[in-house]
Chain A
Amino acid sequence: MAIRVIEEKCNGCGLCTKNCPQMAIAVDNKKAIIDLEVCNYCGACAAACRFRAITIEVDKQAQEDLSQYRGVWVFGEQFRGKVAPVVLELVGAGRKLADARNTELAVVVLGSDLSAAARELSEYPVDKVYLYEAPELAHYDGERYSRVLGDLVRALKPEILLAGATTTGRSFMSQVAIKLYTGLTADCTGLEIGDDGLLYQTRPAYGGNIMATILCPYTRPQMATVRHKVFPLPPKRTNGKAPEVVHLNVKPQLHSSRSELLDFIEQVETTVNIVEADIIVSGGRGIQDPANFALIEALAKALGGAVGASRAAVDAGWIPYAHQVGQTGKTVCPKLYIACGISGAVQHLAGMSSSDTIIAINKDPDAPIFQVANFGFVGDCLEIVPLLTRKIEALRGRA
């Protein structure tokens, strides 16, 4: 790391001094002076400076002693105090890695008022729950979150750091990895400790057409974001050993940000968050008009699933973009994917071909979707889907 004050730009206003958690900056003769012995390169000063007079550059880490790094961390993403489902999946995956490395598994949660999250996590086989609570962190903010997590990693030195490949996880883990000059593998579907003790991270690329295994041999932590639904939820903890809950020291100076949350427009329907769904019913151009999408929604509801769509349906304006599956939409891997009136273009397959089971309903017996579907039904989905919905409701009603 290298940090520097650009003298021509600095007017000695002292904002950086106030924002430095290390108290490493003094102003002398109207110029900021950084004490490099004390600075931990968190970047709070550079973000606070209105004149862009402080620059930080990341250098390749000196050949550090990698054995100082111990433990597996999972980033405990939460929304309004509720832990994201993918975090629990990662607890399961992280437990295995920690056992293989003979080390601890910790979940790190940033936010405000995290007691419910801590309680929820305590039910799972976790060794430690780190809580960093501050009102400014109540809602995700990439700048604050990455500065805080970067600081924690520097202080506590975990060997492995995992996060869900959510919009939050993807954007902010990248920031953390850049700051720490370490590697980050995106959207992993396989994690394993090799004989050499390294984390073997396997992920799909090129829309799932190839797989790559990636290592981060020389820097720590080894960081990965992990796709939803690839690791099963772990069983709850059965032994009496509840995790130790550690309240971390808050450093308000790390909380400055150039971004301000003005509003949150919540999408309340449960059918929209397709990445977390176990069952997805998707409609394509074969649905023929927006009104018919109600048929898809009814089936999804009867099955307790979410609603997906092909790009053709989204582009026609039948359903919002948040539901789009595929190369330019979302990648999903539910237990069951039911494709209705979807031809199965490669760009669509890129987003759903790793689903456990695929059922396709299409009039055209030669539609490419049948080449990936475990079960194919050649027929009119506008007729079949409502009939099926009624049958399921009847079955449910009886149960």
Chain B
Amino acid sequence: MKICVCIKQVPATTEVKFDPETNTLVREGVDSQINPFDVYALEEAVRVKERLQKEGEEATVTVLTMGPPQAEQALREAISLGADDAVLLSDRAFRGADTWATSYALAQALRKLQPDLVFCGMQAIDGDTGQVGPGIAVHLDYAQATYVAKIEALDKRKITVRRLVEQGYEVCAVRLPVVMTVVKEINEPRTPSLRGKMNAKKARIPVWKAADIEAPEEKLGLQGSPTQVVKVFSPPHREGGEKWTGEPEELADKLASLLKELEVV
């Protein structure tokens, strides 16, 4: 079975500031990390692989990212966490992509890789959209399952998953090939093994450009994106208000009258 995981490199802290003078995000000195949800996606992929291998089946995990050249770092980290190999999608033509163009480029790369299972995170912590996973499924015309909290069963033709939704959990059987997006509840990610770190160091990571995925430029990057960001600004700053100290009884009284003032009780 061929498994792919889409990971995104994101700033290690979302405390980015916006510089109105230069109209840009201040990201200097901010380290990068793998998007937290993608770490769960990767872990789940590696667990599926290990289970299949134990049953004597062949299985591999390939990680894929679209990003600047330094996103290679995130791919190496993913290999140290159990992925077998990686592909970096990097080309000036991909720049400025919104979720339409991002999912298109990733889907074109996945067309070459022909996976049976694709794992994504439920959303990225920078863009916070959660749109890329379902988008990839549509571009590839794969079946899809979002917000997966548990894999219940897997065979060659279908996968049974538990999805976390507002009202509870939905259990669905979905025909392969499939794109899944996962929530944090799905597993507890491992830390890199020594062997993983060795593999990461020596891995050769191919870089694919627009031409390698047979993607016409008009569907990529800014040009392929139906949305346009026209303004970026800082939200109103929140400030701490009054603070009380005292005996618990006093504080509870104060709180109760506050809640009355706020018309909650």
> Whole-angstrom distance between the alpha carbons of A258 and B159 in the complex?
11
What's the least CB distance linking B246 to chain A, in Å?
7
Assess the A395–B260 pair: CB atoms within 8 A.
yes
Does A253 reach chain B (CB closer than 8 Å)? no
Does B46 reach chain A (CB closer than 8 Å)? no
Known contacts A205-B127, A215-B230; is-contact A58 B139 (Cβ 8 Å): yes
Assess the A210–B16 pair: CB atoms within 8 A.
yes
> Whole-angstrom distance between the alpha carbons of A350 and B264 in the complex?
24
Known contacts A383-B248, A384-B251; is-contact A209 B168 (Cβ 8 Å): no
Does B240 reach chain A (CB closer than 8 Å)? yes
Assess the B130–A218 pair: CB atoms within 8 A.
no
Assess the B146–A167 pair: CB atoms within 8 A.
yes
Which of chain B's residues 113-167 have a Cβ closer than 8 Å to chain A? 125-135, 137-139, 141, 143-147, 149, 160, 162-167
| Chain A residues, CB < 8 A from B164 | 167, 321-322
Assess the B246–A328 pair: CB atoms within 8 A.
no
| Chain B residues, CB < 8 A from A168 | 165
Does B219 reach chain A (CB closer than 8 Å)? yes
Q: Which of A170, A210, A259 contacts B18 (CB 8 A)?
A: A210
| Chain B residues, CB < 8 A from A52 | 141
Size bracket, chain B contacts: 35 or more
> Whole-angstrom distance between the alpha carbons of A377 and B131 in the complex?
40
Does B174 reach chain A (CB closer than 8 Å)? yes
What's the least CB distance linking B30 to chain A, in Å?
11
Residue of B nearest to A217 (CB): B228
Does B197 reach chain A (CB closer than 8 Å)? no
> Whole-angstrom distance between the alpha carbons of A167 and B138 in the complex?
17
Does A357 reach chain B (CB closer than 8 Å)? yes
- Most B CB contacts (10 A, CB to CB) among A209, A263, A329 go to A209
What's the least CB distance linking B109 to chain A, in Å?
15
Does A298 reach chain B (CB closer than 8 Å)? no
- Most A CB contacts (10 A, CB to CB) among B125, B226, B249 go to B226
Assess the A177–B183 pair: CB atoms within 8 A.
no
| Chain A residues, CB < 8 A from B228 | 214-217
Does A282 reach chain B (CB closer than 8 Å)? no
Residue of B nearest to A358 (CB): B238
Does B255 reach chain A (CB closer than 8 Å)? yes
What's the least CB distance linking B75 to chain A, in Å?
22
Assess the B171–A263 pair: CB atoms within 8 A.
yes
| Chain A residues, CB < 8 A from B170 | 139, 261, 263-265
Assess the B134–A172 pair: CB atoms within 8 A.
yes
Known contacts A166-B166, A395-B260; is-contact A206 B126 (Cβ 8 Å): yes
Does A375 reach chain B (CB closer than 8 Å)? yes
Known contacts A211-B232, A212-B229, A377-B255; is-contact A328 B37 (Cβ 8 Å): yes
Which of chain A's residues 367-399 have a Cβ closer than 8 Å to chain B? 370-380, 383-384, 387-388, 391-392, 395-396
Assess the A375–B173 pair: CB atoms within 8 A.
no
Residue of B nearest to A139 (CB): B170
Assess the B141–A177 pair: CB atoms within 8 A.
no
Does B100 reach chain A (CB closer than 8 Å)? yes
| Chain A residues, CB < 8 A from B265 | 303, 392, 395-396
Does B56 reach chain A (CB closer than 8 Å)? no
Does B235 reach chain A (CB closer than 8 Å)? yes
> Whole-angstrom distance between the alpha carbons of A205 and B233 in the complex?
10
Residue of B nearest to A275 (CB): B166
Does B60 reach chain A (CB closer than 8 Å)? no
Contact with B along A41-85 (1 / 0, CB 8 A): 001001100001001111110000000000000000001000000
Assess the A370–B243 pair: CB atoms within 8 A.
yes
| Chain B residues, CB < 8 A from A216 | 226-228
> Whole-angstrom distance between the alpha carbons of A372 and B135 in the complex?
36
Assess the A261–B172 pair: CB atoms within 8 A.
yes
From A126-134, A152-160, A181-189, A230-238, the one touching the partner chain is: A181-189
Assess the B134–A218 pair: CB atoms within 8 A.
no
Contact with A along B216-254 (1 / 0, CB 8 A): 001100001111111111110011111111111101111
> Whole-angstrom distance between the alpha carbons of A237 and B256 in the complex?
36
What's the least CB distance linking B1 to chain A, in Å?
16
Q: Which of A46, A57, A372 contacts B240 (CB 8 A)?
A: A372
- Most A CB contacts (10 A, CB to CB) among B11, B160, B227, B233 go to B227
Residue of A nearest to B103 (CB): A178
> Whole-angstrom distance between the alpha carbons of A358 and B117 in the complex?
42
Q: Which of A259, A279, A392 contacts B172 (CB 8 A)?
A: A259
| Chain B residues, CB < 8 A from A79 | 166-167
> Whole-angstrom distance between the alpha carbons of A370 and B146 in the complex?
36
Assess the B146–A171 pair: CB atoms within 8 A.
yes
Assess the A265–B169 pair: CB atoms within 8 A.
yes
Assess the B138–A179 pair: CB atoms within 8 A.
yes
Assess the A279–B264 pair: CB atoms within 8 A.
yes
Residue of B nearest to A143 (CB): B143
Residue of B nearest to A142 (CB): B144
B residues near A, CB below 8 A? 11, 13-18, 25, 36-37, 98-100, 103-104, 125-135, 137-139, 141, 143-147, 149, 160, 162-175, 178, 181, 183-185, 218-219, 224-235, 238-249, 251-256, 258-260, 262, 264-265
Q: List 27 A-B residue pairs with CB atoms under 8 Å apart, sorted by A's residue number.
A: A47-B141, A60-B224, A146-B138, A167-B163, A170-B130, A172-B134, A178-B134, A206-B11, A206-B14, A206-B15, A207-B14, A211-B233, A212-B231, A213-B229, A259-B175, A260-B173, A263-B170, A264-B167, A264-B169, A275-B166, A321-B149, A321-B185, A328-B36, A353-B238, A377-B244, A377-B251, A379-B247
A residues near B, CB below 8 A? 43, 46-47, 52, 55-60, 79, 139-140, 142-143, 146, 166-168, 170-175, 177-179, 181-187, 200, 204-219, 257-267, 273, 275-276, 279, 303, 320-322, 324, 327-329, 331, 335-336, 346, 350, 353-354, 357, 359, 361, 365, 370-380, 383-384, 387-388, 391-392, 395-396
Closest 7 CB pairs of A and B: A183-B226, A183-B227, A207-B14, A387-B252, A258-B143, A186-B129, A376-B243
